[in-house]
Amino acid sequence: MLTLSIAIGSFAAFILAYHTYGRWLSAKIFQVNDSATVPSHELRDDVDFVPTQRQVLFGHHFTSIAGTGPIVGPAIAVFWGWLPALLWVVLGAIFVGAVHDFGALMVSLRNRGQTIGEVAGRLINPRARLLFLLILFFALTIVLAIFGLVIAIIFSLYPESVLSVWVAMPLAVAIGVYVHRNQKASLLVPSLVALGILYASVYLGVYYCPITLPVSVYISGSPIVTWTIVLMIYCFIASVLPVWLLLQPRDYINSHQLVVALTLLVAGLAVAGLTGKADLSQSTPAIVAKADIPADAPPIMPFLFITIACGACSGFHCVVSSGTTSKQIARESDAQFIGYGSMLMEGALAVLVILACCAGVGMGRFEKDVSGTLVPIVDSSGAKLVGEAAWRSRYSVEGGWGNFKLPQTVGAFVEGGANFVTSLGIPLELSMGIIAVLVACFAATTLDTATRLQRYVVQELGASFGIKPLTNKYGATLLAVVLGTLVAMIPNGAGEYGKGGLILWPLFGATNQLLAGLAFMVLIFFLARRGRSIKFAIIPVLMMTIIPAYALGWNMFRQGGWLNNEQPNYLLAGFGLVILALQAWMVAECVLLLPKVKGVLEEALPPLERTQTSEVKQVAQATGGPNC
């Protein structure tokens, strides 16, 4: 019952927080006002600025911010035990992550949909804008390299997931065209049809056509390298298309698929918990004893807060909130539902991941035999491996922390989640296919959203430095994709290409959290200039600046670290030092300037040119009002 009780208690906490703390932030701090003009109407161009129904935008926003972050992070963090991970996810999502996402969204809404980096230039100073954009550029480059790798690994480990991910693309385009041509049409029927086709493709992928690349098309002898390049080509195409054509409808379909998969997970968890099949107390220690942790593993403090980013607080979310979502919100009152609510939903997903990777894995482990059939893993006596023995076999780190790989963590969630779903009587093979598709679709959403966001950042940097080709969306997208591909292709010490994402993985968490700290600084300046309370943001901004900086420093300068080593890792150290220097510079700028700006409004945005305004109105009239 402990497994089910934790799930119910966590979900109840999120619901209560939305209707209390979230409502207070909306009414008292951000003073949401539906009579205010939002960017999607003011600057409507039907490419990036598109007024959108809130349920459609919720699906796009949630699937964009979630990705595999709330899966991989918690799946690694339970290495220290389930209790620390659970506390950080629940409390972090409510008081840090959801505030960060909601705040970034509102700041952007009040500044014509500008990205958080652009807004920093006016709220703080022009140097802060440039510093923020450079940090964003480095962070998104790492995101593209890592998430491209994650999807490639999923495709390689679970070929049954490939068909469903690619089937979702033409379905999304068809729905996008249908809705764009029929502005007032109901989305219910086409979305249900698309969902049915998607799950039919899951079934086909599991039982009839798992897709494995032939060796003849391997690049550098690796299917992962080949898949990564294919995915980056897709990202270029997806990033330059109008949001209504692929991004919005694909994420809307994914959100439905997510609801079904999460419903199956929750229902399976309930059945497994009530019947005693899933027993958290017998599967994983609440806190793993220090003696059971490898000597070279990072300490739980600060790395718990770095490992679990998405699911508790993630700086990447401020880029989504201010980069795409703020350009699509149809009215300000939708912001709490989309900004604060999506982060709580992501926290709920992270709770499910924690339980799946602990109690779910404890239900038993499986492997494929020579014929490809899933069979139970047994112990030395021939008994099925269950409970803590099963969990420890999944989370074994023989040879040290360095051998704890990304496929292990993704596999833990797929395996544990599938065990929950099988409690409903669904075959194990199909259950694993459903969970693998869930992970792959999430990662694909984040990958192409990150590409679009990187395009915005490159265009802003191109304008700042006067590099005209980079102000063009095609040139900016090309640079984003090429750079992400090159970083992803970095070889490891053994000369194996396509390992850049794994090499840069240690940078991802700390960089991501530093970005959240910088976004909180922008939010504090926004509120301070308007004479509003900033007390609620003090602890979050301190956490998200000090803890990740400490983690980066530990990684670089400890004995055996990136710099303090017989063979220094100059790639990681170089990225880390640049990011730390940029952050320190921006923090110094903010600390010196904050006392001088309280109650002093920033310079107003220049008025829109009359011709531009009339063109926007003509587009809105021609397309018949809000899209989707």
Write a three-state SS string for 194-256.
Answer: HHHHHHHHHHHHHHCCCCCCCHHHCECCEHHHHHHHHHHHHHHHHHHCCCCCCHHHHHHHHHH
Asked if residue 115 lies in contact with residue 461, where contact means CB atoms within 8 angstroms, the answer is no
Q: Is the pLDDT of residue 106 over 60?
A: yes
Structure confidence by residue, pLDDT tens digits, 580-606: 888 888 889 899 999 999 999 998 888
Strands (E), 488-552: none
What is the model's pLDDT at position 623?
37
Q: What is the pLDDT of residue 400?
A: 66
Q: What is the mean pLDDT of residues 248-270?
A: 85
- Look at residue 78 and tell me whether its pLDDT is greater than 60: yes
Token pair, residue 324, equals 């795409």
Closest CA to 544 of 312, 362, 348, 380: 312
Q: What is the pLDDT of residue 505?
A: 67
What pLDDT is attached to residue 403?
A: 61
- Which whole number is the average pLDDT over 258-270? 91
Local structure of residue 160 (DSSP, 8 states): G
What does each C-alpha distance from 307 to 290, 551, 561 come to in angstroms? 18, 10, 18
396 Cβ partners below 8 Å, 6+ apart?
Answer: none
- Rounded average pLDDT over 401-424: 85
Mean pLDDT, range 78-82, rounded to an integer? 93
Residues recorded for the chain: 628
Mean pLDDT (the chain, rounded): 87
> Is the C-alpha dihedral spanning 519, 524, 527, 532 positive or negative?
positive
Q: Report the percentage of the chain scoring pLDDT > 90.
A: 42
* Burial of 516: CB neighbours in 10 Å, binned 0-12, 13-18, 19+: buried
Handedness of CA 158, 160, 161, 165 (dihedral sign): positive
Q: Which of 125-139, 330-344, 409-423, 484-498 has the lowest mean pLDDT?
A: 484-498
User: What letter does residue 616 receive in the DSSP assignment?
Assistant: H
Q: What is the mean pLDDT of residues 563-570?
A: 84
- Residue in the block written with tokens 């699906």: 59
Q: Is 378 helix (H, G, I), strand (E, B) or coil?
A: strand
pLDDT in tens, 429-449: 999 999 988 888 877 877 878
| Cis amide linkage into residue 540, ω under 30° from 0 | no
| Domain edges within the chain | 2-497+519-528+600-623
- Which range (180-184, 400-404, 510-514) has the least confidence? 400-404
287-313 pLDDT, tens digit each: 999 888 887 788 999 999 988 988 999
Runs of H (alpha helix) within 530-598: 535-557, 570-597
Q: Residue 621: pLDDT band by 50, 70, 90 thresholds? A: very low
pTM: 0.89
pLDDT digits (tens, 9 = 90+) for 4-53: 999 999 999 999 999 999 999 999 999 999 999 999 999 998 878 989 88
